[in-house]
Amino acid sequence: MFDKIIFVVKIVYKKIMIDNLQLVLMILILFYRPYQLLGFIMTSKTTAAYTAVLNHFSQVFAPHINPSSVSVDFEEGLSSAIDAIFPNAKIIRCYFHFLNASMRNLKKKKGTKFMERLKGWRESKIFYRKLMGIPLLPQEHMVLAFNWLLTNTVDDVKEQFTDFIKYFEGWWIKRVTPIKLSVFLTEKVTNNEIEAYHRVLRKRMGSHPSIWQLMEYLKNLQSVTRSEWGSLMMGLSIRQPTENKYINKKEILHRAWKMYQDKLLDIPKFLACAYNFLGCLQKFTYITESLHVDLFVNIQAHNI
């Protein structure tokens, strides 16, 4: 069982109240549920520091655990350490982090007034959501999709996003690169359970807890995790099942991928489909069932 599991290494606090410390949690995803395995407080974010922590975990705490996948954000030091300690594990960059980072950058560059206008500007929402759909494509097709989208977007929309387009190309395409950004055919492209876990942690502990508050809370949380793990090993149900909306989104995405592989959807049609199932800029989505993806086989390409 322990060689078919997913780890999530999550930086929860970039700064704790005293000193310049950060809290990093190692979380096990088993049967689609998060279980905290280890929390460590770090004074630096170098590859050497991450390697030392992960090596101690692998050699001392849990030598029997050999993860098949490790989900991380886009921090290079952490990724390099995982490569060194768990060379057979697939590193998955979190699509949720990409969406959040992109939205923060857009808000910072354009300001509140632009974001309010954007809610009622259909053409710009289409452009942004299609841009956010590019990492869902195979890595070798991402640059093609980016260039196609720019070519087929009207000038007044592109002018509104000039700075953001430069950011997307300069950071995500050239710096991060498609090989790291693409989540094509990845089983879990987002960590909804982890983000919910993260929100509860911050809500209960505050934005910048002291190190003593942090240690006390993590100790109590670990006792709950131990109890839940024991119940799970006895076959007992301990949490609510995954909500249908998350199941539907996964089925929709996997159908879109299958149809793309079968060449029923090309880049324009896939991005048109992605616009209709991604929730960026609004919670409402037009595609709510996987069979709705089939409607995009015969549509004309969206030339914005």
What letter represents residue 125's amino acid? K
Question: Would you state the CATH architecture of domain 6-94+191-233?
Answer: 2-Layer Sandwich (3.30)
User: Per mean pLDDT, which of 12-26, 202-216, 226-240 is the most reliable?
Assistant: 202-216
Edge to edge, the sheet with strand 22-30 lists: 33-42, 22-30, 6-13, 69-72, 90-93
For residue 240, the 8-state DSSP code is P
- Candidate from 7-21, 121-135, 241-255 with smallest mean pLDDT: 7-21
pLDDT of residue 159: 93
Positions of CATH 3.30.420.10 in the chain: 6-94+191-233
Q: Yes or no: say if 18 and 211 are a contact pair by the CB < 8 Å rule.
A: yes
83-121: per-residue pLDDT in tens?
898 888 888 788 888 998 999 999 999 998 888 888 888
pLDDT single digits (tens) 160-191:
999 999 999 999 999 999 998 999 988 765 55
Please tell me the distance from the alpha carbon of residue 261 to that of residue 191, in angstroms, as a whole number.
24
Confidence of residue 4 (pLDDT cuts 50, 70, 90): very low
Q: In the chain, what is the straight-line distance between the N-terminal and C-terminal CA atoms, in Å?
A: 48
- Supply the pLDDT for residue 192: 57
Query: Minimal CA–CA distance to 142: which of 115, 114, 168?
Result: 168
CA dihedral (83, 193, 11, 25) positive or negative: negative
Distance CA 79, CA 73 (A): 9
Phi, psi of 81 (to 5 degrees): -65, -40
Distances (CA, A) of 212 to 11, 53, 76: 18, 21, 29
Average pLDDT, rounded, for the chain: 78
Residue 173 is classified by DSSP as I
Backbone angles phi, psi at 152, to 5 degrees: -105, 25
* 3-state SS assignment for residue 54: helix
Q: Provide the β-strand partners of residue 67.
A: none
Share of the chain above pLDDT 70, in %: 65
**Residue 20 pLDDT:** 60
What digits encode the pLDDT tens for the residues 215-265? 666 666 656 555 655 555 555 554 555 445 555 788 899 999 999 999 999
In this predicted model, which residue has the larger pLDDT, 61 or 157? Answer: 157
Nearest-5° Cα angle at 186, 260 to 151: 45
Strand blocks (E) in the chain? 6-13, 22-30, 33-42, 69-72, 90-93
Question: Angle at CA 71, nearest 5°, toward 66 and 76?
Answer: 105
Residue 1 pLDDT: 42
Note whether 15 and 208 are within 8 A (CB): yes
Residue that has been written with the tokens 């989104």 in this structure: 249
Give the pLDDT of residue 3: 44
Would you list the DSSP string of 98-152? HHHHHHHHHHHHHHHHHHHHHTT-HHHHHHHHHHHHGGGS-GGGHHHHHHHHHHT
Per-residue confidence band for 13, with pLDDT thresholds at 50, 70 and 90: very low
Q: Rounded to an integer, what distance in angstroms lies between the CA atom of residue 219 and that of residue 237?
A: 23
Strand partners, 72: 93
Separation in Å, CA 290 to CA 123, 132, 277: 25, 20, 10
